[in-house]
Protein backbone atom coordinates (compact mmCIF):
# COMPACT_ATOMS: atom_id res chain seq x y z
CA UNK A 1 0.00 0.00 0.00
CA UNK A 2 1.37 3.42 -0.91
CA UNK A 3 0.88 6.52 1.19
CA UNK A 4 -0.50 9.68 -0.41
CA UNK A 5 1.42 12.94 -0.06
CA UNK A 6 -1.34 14.19 2.26
CA UNK A 7 -1.13 11.11 4.50
CA UNK A 8 2.67 11.36 4.53
CA UNK A 9 2.41 15.03 5.55
CA UNK A 10 -0.01 14.17 8.35
CA UNK A 11 2.34 11.44 9.63
CA UNK A 12 5.34 13.81 9.56
CA UNK A 13 3.45 16.54 11.46
CA UNK A 14 2.27 13.98 14.03
CA UNK A 15 5.80 12.66 14.47
CA UNK A 16 7.25 16.16 14.88
CA UNK A 17 4.69 16.95 17.58
CA UNK A 18 5.08 13.49 19.17
CA UNK A 19 1.35 12.89 18.71
CA UNK A 20 -0.10 9.45 19.47
CA UNK A 21 -2.40 8.18 16.74
CA UNK A 22 -5.86 7.34 18.06
CA UNK A 23 -7.53 4.40 16.41
CA UNK A 24 -11.27 4.61 15.72
CA UNK A 25 -11.87 1.70 18.06
CA UNK A 26 -10.15 3.49 20.91
CA UNK A 27 -12.16 6.73 20.94
CA UNK A 28 -13.87 5.79 24.21
CA UNK A 29 -10.49 5.95 25.95
CA UNK A 30 -9.69 9.32 24.32
CA UNK A 31 -12.83 11.40 24.77
CA UNK A 32 -10.87 14.65 24.84
CA UNK A 33 -7.91 15.17 22.53
CA UNK A 34 -5.22 17.82 22.67
CA UNK A 35 -4.81 17.98 18.91
CA UNK A 36 -6.23 16.51 15.70
CA UNK A 37 -4.32 16.39 12.42
CA UNK A 38 -6.18 15.89 9.17
CA UNK A 39 -6.14 16.89 5.53
CA UNK A 40 -8.51 19.06 3.51
CA UNK A 41 -9.94 18.68 0.03
CA UNK A 42 -10.11 22.42 -0.57
CA UNK A 43 -8.78 25.44 1.31
CA UNK A 44 -10.09 28.88 0.45
CA UNK A 45 -7.29 31.43 0.05
CA UNK A 46 -7.16 34.25 2.62
CA UNK A 47 -9.58 32.40 4.90
CA UNK A 48 -9.56 29.26 6.96
CA UNK A 49 -12.66 27.89 5.23
CA UNK A 50 -12.29 24.27 4.13
CA UNK A 51 -14.06 21.45 2.37
CA UNK A 52 -13.32 18.07 3.90
CA UNK A 53 -14.81 14.64 3.52
CA UNK A 54 -14.14 13.40 0.00
CA UNK A 55 -12.49 10.35 1.55
CA UNK A 56 -15.83 9.35 3.04
CA UNK A 57 -15.21 9.51 6.82
CA UNK A 58 -17.20 12.69 7.42
CA UNK A 59 -18.98 11.88 10.66
CA UNK A 60 -15.91 10.29 12.28
CA UNK A 61 -13.68 13.19 11.26
CA UNK A 62 -16.22 15.65 12.60
CA UNK A 63 -16.40 13.79 15.92
CA UNK A 64 -12.61 13.72 16.28
CA UNK A 65 -12.38 17.42 15.42
CA UNK A 66 -15.06 18.34 17.96
CA UNK A 67 -13.28 16.31 20.65
CA UNK A 68 -9.99 18.12 19.97
CA UNK A 69 -8.78 21.30 21.62
CA UNK A 70 -6.85 22.23 18.46
CA UNK A 71 -6.82 21.05 14.87
CA UNK A 72 -4.02 21.13 12.33
CA UNK A 73 -5.01 20.85 8.70
CA UNK A 74 -2.36 19.62 6.28
CA UNK A 75 -2.77 20.70 2.66
CA UNK A 76 -0.47 21.56 -0.20
CA UNK A 77 -0.85 24.26 -2.85
CA UNK A 78 -3.00 21.99 -5.07
CA UNK A 79 -5.81 22.31 -2.49
CA UNK A 80 -5.88 26.13 -2.56
CA UNK A 81 -8.85 27.77 -4.31
CA UNK A 82 -10.23 31.29 -4.59
CA UNK A 83 -13.76 30.09 -3.76
CA UNK A 84 -14.86 26.80 -2.27
CA UNK A 85 -16.59 24.15 -4.40
CA UNK A 86 -16.32 24.70 -8.15
CA UNK A 87 -14.94 21.42 -9.53
CA UNK A 88 -15.01 19.73 -6.11
CA UNK A 89 -18.39 18.38 -5.02
CA UNK A 90 -19.37 19.23 -1.47
CA UNK A 91 -19.65 15.88 0.35
CA UNK A 92 -22.65 15.37 2.63
CA UNK A 93 -23.06 12.23 4.74
CA UNK A 94 -26.66 11.10 5.12
CA UNK A 95 -28.31 8.29 7.04
CA UNK A 96 -29.04 5.42 4.65
CA UNK A 97 -32.60 4.93 5.93
CA UNK A 98 -34.76 7.36 4.00
CA UNK A 99 -31.78 8.92 2.24
CA UNK A 100 -34.00 9.90 -0.68
CA UNK A 101 -35.78 12.48 1.49
CA UNK A 102 -32.55 14.29 2.36
CA UNK A 103 -31.44 13.97 -1.26
CA UNK A 104 -34.65 15.74 -2.33
CA UNK A 105 -34.18 18.45 0.30
CA UNK A 106 -30.64 19.08 -0.94
CA UNK A 107 -31.93 19.36 -4.50
CA UNK A 108 -34.66 21.77 -3.37
CA UNK A 109 -32.08 24.22 -2.00
CA UNK A 110 -30.02 24.06 -5.22
CA UNK A 111 -27.22 21.72 -4.14
CA UNK A 112 -27.56 19.28 -7.12
CA UNK A 113 -26.84 16.15 -5.04
CA UNK A 114 -25.51 12.95 -6.55
CA UNK A 115 -25.35 9.71 -4.59
CA UNK A 116 -21.79 8.33 -4.49
CA UNK A 117 -21.75 4.87 -6.05
CA UNK A 118 -19.10 2.15 -6.01
CA UNK A 119 -19.71 -0.69 -8.42
CA UNK A 120 -23.26 0.50 -9.02
CA UNK A 121 -24.14 0.40 -5.31
CA UNK A 122 -24.22 3.25 -2.78
CA UNK A 123 -20.85 3.92 -1.15
CA UNK A 124 -21.24 3.13 2.56
CA UNK A 125 -19.23 4.91 5.24
CA UNK A 126 -17.76 3.06 8.20
CA UNK A 127 -20.84 4.25 10.11
CA UNK A 128 -23.20 2.67 7.56
CA UNK A 129 -24.29 5.98 6.02
CA UNK A 130 -24.29 7.22 2.42
CA UNK A 131 -22.39 10.10 0.84
CA UNK A 132 -23.84 12.50 -1.70
CA UNK A 133 -21.69 14.95 -3.59
CA UNK A 134 -23.33 18.32 -4.10
CA UNK A 135 -22.38 20.22 -7.24
CA UNK A 136 -22.24 23.88 -6.30
CA UNK A 137 -20.58 26.38 -8.65
CA UNK A 138 -19.26 28.57 -5.82
CA UNK A 139 -19.87 28.94 -2.11
CA UNK A 140 -19.80 32.70 -1.46
CA UNK A 141 -20.86 32.38 2.20
CA UNK A 142 -19.59 29.08 3.69
CA UNK A 143 -20.98 29.82 7.17
CA UNK A 144 -24.51 30.41 5.83
CA UNK A 145 -24.40 27.24 3.71
CA UNK A 146 -23.04 25.24 6.64
CA UNK A 147 -25.93 26.43 8.83
CA UNK A 148 -28.46 25.68 6.12
CA UNK A 149 -27.16 22.17 5.49
CA UNK A 150 -26.76 21.42 9.19
CA UNK A 151 -30.46 22.24 9.65
CA UNK A 152 -31.38 19.33 7.37
CA UNK A 153 -32.31 16.19 9.26
CA UNK A 154 -30.20 13.04 8.87
CA UNK A 155 -27.12 14.69 7.39
CA UNK A 156 -23.56 15.35 8.45
CA UNK A 157 -21.91 18.20 6.62
CA UNK A 158 -18.14 18.60 6.41
CA UNK A 159 -17.90 22.24 5.48
CA UNK A 160 -15.27 23.25 7.98
CA UNK A 161 -15.01 26.79 9.25
CA UNK A 162 -12.14 28.67 10.80
CA UNK A 163 -10.82 27.59 14.20
CA UNK A 164 -12.21 30.84 15.62
CA UNK A 165 -15.70 29.76 14.60
CA UNK A 166 -15.16 26.34 16.17
CA UNK A 167 -13.77 27.83 19.38
CA UNK A 168 -16.79 30.11 19.66
CA UNK A 169 -19.18 27.14 19.80
Domains along the sequence of the chain with CATH: 5-81 (3.40.50.1360), 90-156 (3.30.70.260)
Contact present, 70 and 36 (Cβ < 8 Å): yes
Reported as a pLDDT band with limits 50, 70 and 90, residue 4 is: low
Q: Let me know if 61 is a catalytic residue.
A: yes
pLDDT at 27 over 90: no
Least confident window among 61-65, 126-130, 144-148, 157-161: 157-161
The pTM of this model reads 0.74
Give the dihedral sign, CA 81/10/2/57. negative
Q: Grade residue 116 by pLDDT with cuts at 50, 70 and 90.
A: very high
- Residue 163 reports pLDDT greater than 60: no
Which of these, 19, 32, 91, 18, lies nearest to 59 by C-alpha position? 91
pLDDT tens digits, 46-59: 998 999 888 888 88
165 pLDDT band, cuts 50/70/90, is very low
Tell me the C-alpha distance between 109 and 147, whole Å. 13
Alpha helix ranges (H) inside the chain: 5-16, 58-67, 99-108, 142-150, 163-167
Whole-number pLDDT of residue 76? 93
Q: Pick the residue with more confidence: 47 or 168?
A: 47
Q: Output the pLDDT for position 65.
A: 85
| Contact in structure between 49 and 144 (CB atoms under 8 Å) | no
The alpha-helical segments, DSSP class H, found in 55-97 are: 58-67
Q: What CA–CA distance (Å, rounded) separates 39 from 68?
A: 15
Q: Which of 61, 77, 100, 138 is catalytic?
A: 61
Which one is predicted more confidently, 7 or 99? 99
3-state SS assignment for residue 129: coil
Q: What is the DSSP letter of 29?
A: G
Q: What's the N-to-C CA distance of the chain in angstroms? A: 39
Amino acid sequence: MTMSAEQDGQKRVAAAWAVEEVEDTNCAAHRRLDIAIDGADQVERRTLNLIKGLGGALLREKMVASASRRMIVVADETKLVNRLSGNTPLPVEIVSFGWETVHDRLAAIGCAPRLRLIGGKPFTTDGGNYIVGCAIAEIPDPAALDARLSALRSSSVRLALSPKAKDAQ
